[in-house]
Amino acid sequence: MNTLSFVFVSLQRIHTDRDSTSTNLAKELAKRHKVLYINAPIDMRTYYSGKSDSYIKEHIRLIRSQSKDNYLRQTSANMWVLNPQTIIDSINWIPHTGIFSLLNRRNNKRLAKEFKKVLKSIGFKQFILINDKDIYRSFYLKELLNPLLYVYLDRDYIVGMKYWKRHGAKLEPKLIEKSDLVLCNSPGFTDRAKPFNSNSYYIGNGCNVELFDINKYPECPEDLKRLKDRPIVGYVGALLAMRLDIDLIVYLAVSRPMWNFVLVGSEDDAFANSQLHKLTNVYFLGKKDTKQVPAYIKYFDVCINPQAINEITNENYPLKIDEYLAMGRPTVATQTHVMKQVFSPVVKLASNQEDFLNEIEASLNENDSDRVQERVELARSHSWEKITENVLRVILKHLNNGKNPIGSSAFS
C-alpha cells in the first residue's frame, strides 16, 4: 500500500482538551499515512501579552527555551507535530486590506522558510496541504510550498466574527478560488463555495464514536449526582451569545422551574452577566475536558442545542449533535438548514420558544430502545473513519483526473 504525506495548518491546536475537524482528520489519516500537523504560530501581541491559555503558554515557553529538539515532536509512528518557532508580526489592526496583504505575505514567507526545513528533515517531498480555515497565515502557502494539492477545509463561518470581518470577508473567496479542492462539512458551505471553485465537495462532519460510546461511563459525574431531582436538560459546549439564544434558555428555565437545566462549558461575558445566573434551576458546571464530556451527556434526560439564528450559525454543522446522539440521548435543537438536512429524522427541531419547550416535554417520554438505537446508528454513520474515507475518495478522484501517477492502492 502506498503512503501519502499530509500537512495540516489550522486555527486549532492538536493534542489539547478540544477536538476539531482538522485534528480528528489528522489523527485518522495518521493510522495509514504520514501526517505533519502544524500548530498555529505565535504573533508578537500574543508573545508579549501573557493573555493565553495553557497550550499557547507552553508553545511560548518552547520558543523561549531555544531548544530545537522541542519544536518538532513525533507523537506516533506516522504523526509529527510542529510548534513553529517563528514569531510573526501582529497585523490584523491594519485597516487597508491591500497593505495588510503585503505584510501578510511577508509573514507567510517567514513561516514557509521554517516549514520547508521541517518538511525536508522528515522526508516529506510530495505532500497534500490541508488548510483548516487559516485564511491569513496560510494564504500564500500554496505558492510558497508548492504542495501536490492545496486543500481548503471549510468548516465554520468565521468571517462573520469581529476578528475576521475586516480582511477575511475579502480574502476567503480568493483563497477558495485558488485552492485545488474545497472540502466542506455542511451542505450550505458547499453551496457557498461552488461559485468560487467548482471543485467544492460536501464531506460531512464526524464524531469520535470510540469516545462517545453509549456502553461506557457507568458512573455519573459527582456534580450531576448532587442534582437529585429529574429531569436534567443539558447542553455541552462553549456558552457564546453569538451562537446560542440566551433568551430561549431563560424562557425554558422559567417555564419549567421543576426541571434542572445544566450548562457545561466556558462562558462569555454575555452569559456570565445573564439572568440565567439568578435562576435556581440553572446550573453552570464550567468547561470539562473532552474525555469527561460523554459521562455528562449520558446522564442528561434530554440534550439541547438552543442556537441563535444568524449568519454564523445557520449553515454551521454542530458537532455536539452527533455526540448527543452517539450516547443515545433524546435531542432538541433550533431548526437550521443543516439540522433539517442532516439530523431531522432523529432530532426534534423547533422554530420558536414554545415549540422548543413542547419538544423537550415530548422527548422526555421517547426513550425506548428502538429510538435509542436509531440515534446511535446515525451518529456512527458520521464516524471520523467514514468522514476520512470521504476525504480520501475526493482527493483520489482529483489526483486521478489530473493524471497523477498515484493509484487507488494509496487509499485502500
State how far the Cα of 205 lies from the Cα of 207, in Å rounded to an integer.
7
What is the rounded end-to-end Cα distance, in angstroms, of the chain? 7
Q: Which residue shows C-alpha cell 442532516? A: 342
Q: Is the pLDDT of residue 407 over 70?
A: no
Q: What is the structure's pLDDT at 242? A: 92
Phi, psi of 119 (to 5 degrees): -60, -40
- Count the Cβ atoms, other than its own, within 10 Å of residue 412: 9
**Which of the four pLDDT bands, split at 50, 70 and 90, describes residue 403?**
very low
Average pLDDT, the chain: 92
- Express as a percent the part of the chain with pLDDT over 90: 82
Going by the DSSP 8-state scheme, the letter that residue 206 receives in this structure is: -
> Cell numbers at residue 363, please?
422527548
Please compute the mean of the pLDDT values over residues 12-25 and round it to a whole number.
90
> Cell numbers at residue 282, please?
440553572
Indicate the burial class of 129 (C-beta count within 10 angstroms; 0-12, 13-18, 19 or more): buried
Q: What is the structure's pLDDT at 313? A: 86
**Which of the four pLDDT bands, split at 50, 70 and 90, describes residue 69?**
low
Q: What is the structure's pLDDT at 41? A: 96
CATH number assigned to the domain covering 5-206+383-411? 3.40.50.11010
**Torsion of Cα atoms, 53 then 59 then 61 then 62, to 10°:** 170
The answer to whether 306 and 334 are in contact (CB under 8 A) is: yes
Q: Is the pLDDT of residue 270 over 50?
A: yes
Rg (CA), the chain: 22
In the chain, ranges of CATH 3.40.50.2000 domains: 222-380
In the chain, ranges of CATH 3.40.50.11010 domains: 5-206+383-411
**Which of the four pLDDT bands, split at 50, 70 and 90, describes residue 402?**
low
- Count the Cβ atoms, other than its own, within 10 Å of residue 89: 14
Q: Is the pLDDT of residue 404 over 80?
A: no
Q: Is the pLDDT of residue 50 over 80?
A: no
Condensed to tens digits (0 to 9), the pLDDT of residues 180-190 reads 999 999 999 99
CATH architecture of the domain formed by 222-380: 3-Layer(aba) Sandwich (3.40)
Q: What is the structure's pLDDT at 159? A: 84
State how far the Cα of 237 lies from the Cα of 214, in Å rounded to an integer.
19
Taking each helix axis from N to C end, the angle separating 162-178 and 97-121, rounded to the nearest 10 degrees, works out to 60
State how far the Cα of 315 lies from the Cα of 323, in Å rounded to an integer.
18
Q: Is the pLDDT of residue 142 over 50?
A: yes
Give the Cα-Cα-Cα angle 233, 223, 13 (nearest 5 degrees): 85
CA-CA distances (angstroms) from residue 32 to 1, 43, 80, 101? Answer: 9, 33, 14, 37
pLDDT, greater one: 401 or 343: 343
Closest-CA residue to 91 (of 80, 99, 83): 99
The answer to whether 39 and 83 are in contact (CB under 8 A) is: yes
Q: Is the pLDDT of residue 129 over 90?
A: yes
Characterize 299-332 residue by residue with b for buried, 16 or more Cβ atoms within 10 angstroms of its Cβ, and e for exposed.
bbbbbbbbbbeeebbbbbbbbbbbbbbbbbbbbb
Q: Is the pLDDT of residue 241 over 80?
A: yes
Q: What is the structure's pLDDT at 406? A: 39
3-state class (DSSP) for residue 202: strand
* Residue 257, phi-psi category: left (phi > 0), alpha (psi -120 to 50), beta (remainder): alpha
Q: What is the structure's pLDDT at 321? A: 96
Say which amino acid occupies 10.
Answer: S
Q: What is the structure's pLDDT at 350? A: 97
The answer to whether 331 and 302 are in contact (CB under 8 A) is: yes
The answer to whether 52 and 42 are in contact (CB under 8 A) is: no
Q: Is the pLDDT of residue 1 over 70?
A: no
State how far the Cα of 247 lies from the Cα of 307, in Å rounded to an integer.
11
State how far the Cα of 227 lies from the Cα of 71, in Å rounded to an integer.
45
State how far the Cα of 356 lies from the Cα of 350, in Å rounded to an integer.
5
pLDDT, greater one: 169 or 404: 169
Strands in 302-305's sheet, in edge-to-edge order, are 282-284, 260-264, 232-236, 302-305, 331-334, 348-350
Closest-CA residue to 238 (of 20, 11, 13, 9): 20
Please compute the mean of the pLDDT values over residues 329-353 and round it to a whole number.
94
Give the H or E element holding residue 187.
helix 187-193
Tell me the sheet residues that pair with 345. none
Q: What is the structure's pLDDT at 68? A: 65
Tell me the sheet residues that pair with 332. 304, 348
Taking each helix axis from N to C end, the angle separating 353-363 and 246-255, rounded to the nearest 10 degrees, works out to 50
State how far the Cα of 382 lies from the Cα of 254, in Å rounded to an integer.
35
